Structure 1
Amino acid sequence: MPKHRIIYFNARGRAEPSRLVLSAAGVEFEDIRFTSEEWETEKATGKYHFGQLPCMETDGVMLSQSRAIARYLANEYGFAGRTNLEKAKVDIVMDTCEDLLQGMIKIHFEKDDAKKAELTTQYDKKVATTLASLEKMLTDNNGGDGFLVGDGVSLADLSFYSQMEYNLSSPILSSPNLLDSYPKLKALNARVAALPNIAAWLEKRPKTEF
């Protein structure tokens, strides 16, 4: 079995979906977390693609771009979907979660209070529309009491869970009751967290704000 090293900062961030895939698969990995100062030294070595994180080193081969890493691992360990159609649906959820994350980042870095308030209002509307669509996607998949794609957990569910960790507890967008209006998604979120391998990872991973 290849040896994986997930390399990122001390945060869940863009590395967490890949950590969740490896955890769900029961695959041990090195969880490398740099401080900002350490990263500046590491980046100067030139071995990290594009000078950015996250990266993953697998048997000496360096991979970059968070979603590319997550998809690679999902394909390796059976979480990418069984058919091309299922894979496309998994990608739809991944890209949808990326849209939500980008919206949060934009609000976080906005300095103008009035603009921040405007962006937050727009974001809240987008979240509501997105969750309604995902609730339907889940319900359309055999009634919605399983997973978003196919008949087992996939990168779609893990990406959704990772994003909801932000939306449910974000210091900039505190929405602890966000999923109350989406019972199928709320149950899915709990179902993913209760998977034995995922529960074990959630228990042992470093506690971080992001």
Structure 2
Amino acid sequence: MSEDESEPPPYRLVYFDIRGLAEPVRWMFCLAGLPFVDERVPLVEWNEAKKRYQDHVGQLPILYFDDQELSQVHTVMRFVARRLGFNGLTDMEAARADEATDLVYDLRAVTYRECFTTKTPDIVRHTVFRDFKNEPSQKKKEPMRKDLLDIHLPKYLSKFEELLDSSGGRYIAGTTLTYADLAVANFLDVATEMIGPDILDDFPGLQELKENVFSLPPIQQWCATRTLAQGYSSGG
């Protein structure tokens, strides 16, 4: 069979042309050495493109596989994790992975609505990271940064470190790499890029976790490929 006649990869992930919340799903495919279709929808095309996804309440990501489809980012993430072996070795490890990933989503949802403006509100949620990075007024940025450093980040990052310590200090949910490690590392990388690398100064365990995840060869290769091919925008 020629290359043109070969069967397509069994998984097709449709998401925006950003890292966002679906990046750990892409990483799991890479770590498992599993080909997949990485279908990207440019943000500027979404107002028109979302009409194609009304069966999924006009939201991405959507995972297509075996003539089936799944929506909602955490559903997709956990499904792929279970299939590819990134969901922990016990029920408790799976639950810890869920806990850590849900905490990531909670922290991303901290809002500063009085500062936030966007032309694509159904894509780019009201996240504190994007609010802070895009706020042009230094006067407004000062209290935002203070709240981040004094309230929000210590509360959540301390919880991540607690989970990390309780599992032995290498992985956040147990004795093996789980999708939670990928979700947390992706989140930390976006947060340090948008707010500043100093946010991890008091959390060496999380800094090491992030470095360990980004040092995995399949993820290194993925990040380099995306940087060269189409840009590697954080995308919140």
- TM-score normalised to structure 2 length: 0.77
Deviation at 1:153, TM superposition (A): 0.9
- CA 1:131 to 1:58, structure 2 compared with 1: closer, same or farther past 3 Å? same
**Structure index of larger Rg:** 2
Q: Does 1:70 align with 2:106?
A: no
Q: Does 1:200 align with 2:221?
A: yes
Kindly provide the CA deviation profile for residues 99-133 of structure 1, in whole angstroms up to 9, marking residues without a partner as x. 1211263444698x788765554333111121122
Kindly provide the CA deviation profile for residues 47-104 of structure 1, in whole angstroms up to 9, marking residues without a partner as x. 6511111111113322100010000000000101121111110011000110121126
- CA 1:50 to 1:116, structure 2 compared with 1: closer, same or farther past 3 Å? farther
What is the alpha-carbon distance in structure 1 between the residues aligned to residue 48 and residue 187 of structure 2?
Answer: 30
Deviation at 1:44, TM superposition (A): 2.5
What is the alpha-carbon distance in structure 2 between the residues aligned to residue 199 and residue 192 of structure 1?
Answer: 9
Deviation at 1:42, TM superposition (A): 3.6
Which residue does the alignment assign to 2:59?
52
Amino acid at match of 1:200: Q
Structure 2 runs not aligned, ≥5 long: 1-7, 112-125
CA contact under 8 A between 2:28 and 2:81: conserved in structure 1? yes
What is the alpha-carbon distance in structure 2 between the residues aligned to residue 201 and residue 59 of structure 1?
Answer: 25
Which residue does the alignment assign to 2:158?
132
Deviation at 1:4, TM superposition (A): 1.1
CA contact under 8 A between 1:103 and 1:123: conserved in structure 2? no
- CA 1:189 to 1:36, structure 2 compared with 1: closer, same or farther past 3 Å? closer
- CA 1:202 to 1:117, structure 2 compared with 1: closer, same or farther past 3 Å? same
Corresponding residue SS for 2:197: coil
Which residue does the alignment assign to 2:117?
none
What is the alpha-carbon distance in structure 2 between the residues aligned to residue 72 and residue 51 of structure 1?
Answer: 20
CA contact under 8 A between 1:48 and 1:62: conserved in structure 2? no
Count matched residues. 205
Amino acid at match of 1:148: I
What is the alpha-carbon distance in structure 2 between the residues aligned to residue 160 and residue 93 of structure 1?
Answer: 7
Corresponding residue SS for 2:218: helix
CA contact under 8 A between 1:2 and 1:59: conserved in structure 2? no
- TM-score normalised to structure 1 length: 0.86
Kindly provide the CA deviation profile for residues 2-56 of structure 1, in whole angstroms up to 9, marking residues without a partner as x. 6111111110112112112212222111111112454344432356511111111
Q: Tell me how large the CA RMSD over aligned residues is.
A: 2.5
- CA 1:7 to 1:39, structure 2 compared with 1: closer, same or farther past 3 Å? same
CA contact under 8 A between 1:10 and 1:35: conserved in structure 2? yes
CA contact under 8 A between 1:48 and 1:55: conserved in structure 2? no
Identity %: 30
Which residue does the alignment assign to 1:190?
211
